[in-house]
Amino acid sequence: PLTQAHKDLAASVQRMAELTIFHVLHYLHQRTRLTKVCIAGGVAQNSVANGKITRNTPFKEVYIPSAGHDAGISMGAAQYVYHQTMKAPRVAPVFSAYTGSRFDNAYIKSMLEKRGIAYKEIPDPELFDYVSDRLINAGVVGWFNGRAEFGPRALGARSILADPGRADAKDLLNSKIKRRESFRPFAPSILKEYVAEYFELDEPVPFMEKVFPIRAEKRAIIPAVTHVDGTGRLQSVDAAVSPRYYALIDAFRKKKGIPILLNTSFNENEPIVNTPEEALDCYLRTQMDMLVMENIVVERN
């Protein structure tokens, strides 16, 4: 069992890691005088430290890739060949983490029919109203949308969603679906236009790569995504990058007044689901209330 000594050790290691990162970045800034920095590697997965960089170093903008660990080398190598060897021009838009597999409605319906699973097909934008109603009424929803994410975080393509305003949502997810330690927080996916309203810092966080303090007056409004220290590991959702996920959160906002959804990875103590078959199996094993795969909806009676 975890004791206070374990917690003290973890806090000390985290603090020393942060101080080391800040020291290296101060040195880098002295050498370059640049104000923007890109960080990758395993240490770049430390979202708590990442969220403190602009407050503790001279750097004003921090970019961390969606797959900043070893797996991201494959994407970097491909882009290097494309731009340097093939001489393709570099473009400016925000990089999308949604580069994995995708499946259309026809494939999903065929799979469900073979498994004998009842479903309904709901077009956009009615789908977003339908799902947001379920979320508001204490529903836990498996959300399978578009291409899978490249990286360790679920970013609204392979996610389990819930109402962040429910104080019991965290315990419900931990006991019925995730079955993990109660101290591990769940993440808020927030419409990017509202980040400054809910968080003390206003920086783009597209890949859930930073932890920011939640404004004190907002913590009671979103208890399910507020960590014990008053922080949240957020994902800022951009309509230009993730239009359907943005539309779902916006539909929820119009009904509940909160531009945020609780977002956790679509899995149960195993890798994040990638295919409709894996999503269905996870849904059936757990106590999720609804499974949404593209425009196809499966519900428990």
Angle, in degrees to the nearest 10, between helices 243-256 and 126-136 = 50
User: Which run of H or of E encompasses 120?
Assistant: strand 120-121
Q: How far is CA 153 from the centre of its chain?
A: 5
The per-residue pLDDT for range 158-182, each reduced to its tens digit, is 999 999 999 899 888 887 787 777 6
The pair of three-digit structure tokens given for residue 141, joined into one six-digit string: 């929803």
- Cα distances from 278 to residues 84, 245, 285, 290, 291, in angstroms, run 38, 20, 11, 15, 12
DSSP for 188-221, please give it. EEEEGGGHHHHBS-----TTS-EEEEBPGGGTTT
The pair of three-digit structure tokens given for residue 242, joined into one six-digit string: 């993730």
Q: Report the pLDDT averaged over residues 173-201.
A: 89
Q: Report the pLDDT averaged over residues 174-202.
A: 89
pTM over 0.75: yes
Give the residue with greater pLDDT, 115 vs 170.
115
* Backbone φ/ψ region at 31: left (φ over 0), alpha (ψ -120 to 50), beta: alpha
The pair of three-digit structure tokens given for residue 227, joined into one six-digit string: 């960590």
CATH for 105-299 (3.90.870.20, 3.40.640.10, 3.40.50.300, 3.40.1390.10): 3.90.870.20
The per-residue pLDDT for range 122-146, each reduced to its tens digit, is 999 999 999 999 999 999 999 999 9
pLDDT class of 93 with cuts at 50, 70, 90: low
User: Which run of H or of E encompasses 258?
Assistant: none
SS (H, E, C) 260-297: EEEEEECCCCCCCCCCHHHHHHHHHHCCCCEEEECCEE
Which residues belong to CATH 3.90.870.20 in the chain? 105-299
Q: CB–CB of 161/256 below 8 Å?
A: no
The per-residue pLDDT for range 38-67, each reduced to its tens digit, is 999 989 999 999 999 999 999 999 999 999
